[in-house]
């Protein structure tokens, strides 16, 4: 979390956008079994939901399903016949996500693909209105390259963890911090139309 806890609580207190009961259940119950810090929090989830509702997408692509929390937040803006495709490589987490999603009204709108996104993405021919990347950081640049032709004009790409606990501004960077720094630098160097939003661990919002 980039902001301190008191400020975070203040933001939550004065934000009227509410999460559904099943989203609360996922946060309170499911992620007790797996790393808590790996899942989107309340504010990030509401941001994803609002962006989706503004965009009103027909198709959404998510790279990295985890427990399905962000998946369901993004679904809140889908059109009536809209679809979301999510990719998850961990079978245990894949099963958790399916259980969570199957208990919601969005279950028919979501398809989770089990496998390595690097192998799956080239096989997907559809173009998407929103693409959310929140998977293994070492492949962020590879994912970006693979989705270039899969995002619609004026489509939105969202990339999570781009501030990497604030370590990106440190002079001495470890392996993963260097990867995130290199990714952000690539967006800047290649003149992507983007802005970094300092919510949770930082989201890079890119407009195609």
pLDDT of 5-37, one tens digit each? 899 899 999 999 999 999 998 887 665 656 555
- Residue ranges of the alpha helices (H) in the chain? 5-13, 21-28, 42-55, 69-75, 91-102, 117-120, 140-147, 175-189
Output the pLDDT for position 183. 97
Encode pLDDT of 97-106 as tens digits: 999 999 999 9
Output the pLDDT for position 27. 82
Output the pLDDT for position 2. 67
- Domain extent for 39: 5-207
Output the pLDDT for position 39. 75
For residues 19-50, one letter each, b for 16 or more C-beta atoms within 10 angstroms of the residue's C-beta and e for the rest, the string is bbebbeebbeebbeeeeeeebbbbbbbbbbbe
CATH number at residue 37: 3.40.50.150
Number of structural domains the chain divides into:
1
Encode pLDDT of 168-207 as tens digits: 999 999 999 999 999 999 999 999 999 999 998 999 999 9
Q: What is the pTM of this model?
A: 0.94
CA separation for the pair 76, 89 (Å, rounded): 24
Say which DSSP state 34 is in.
S
């Amino acid at each position: 979390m980039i902001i301190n806890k008191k400020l975070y609580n203040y933001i939550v207190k004065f934000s009227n956008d509410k999460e559904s009961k099943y989203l609360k259940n996922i946060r309170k119950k499911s992620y007790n079994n797996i790393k808590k810090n790996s899942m989107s929090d309340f504010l990030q989830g509401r941001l994803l939901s609002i962006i989706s509702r503004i965009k009103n997408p027909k198709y959404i692509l998510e790279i990295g399903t985890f427990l399905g929390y962000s998946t369901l937040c993004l679904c809140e803006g889908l059109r009536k016949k809209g679809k979301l495709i999510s990719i998850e490589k961990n079978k245990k987490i894949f099963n958790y996500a399916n259980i969570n999603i199957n208990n919601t009204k969005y279950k028919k709108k979501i398809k989770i693909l089990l496998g390595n996104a690097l192998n799956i993405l080239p096989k997907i021919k559809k173009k998407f209105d929103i693409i959310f990347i929140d998977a293994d950081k070492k492949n962020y640049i590879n994912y970006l390259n693979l989705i270039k032709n899969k995002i619609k004009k004026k489509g939105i790409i969202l990339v999570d963890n781009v501030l990497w606990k604030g370590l990106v501004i440190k002079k001495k960077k470890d392996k993963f911090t260097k990867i995130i720094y290199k990714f952000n630098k690539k967006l800047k160097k290649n003149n992507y139309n983007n802005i970094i939003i300092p919510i949770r661990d930082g989201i890079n919002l890119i407009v195609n």
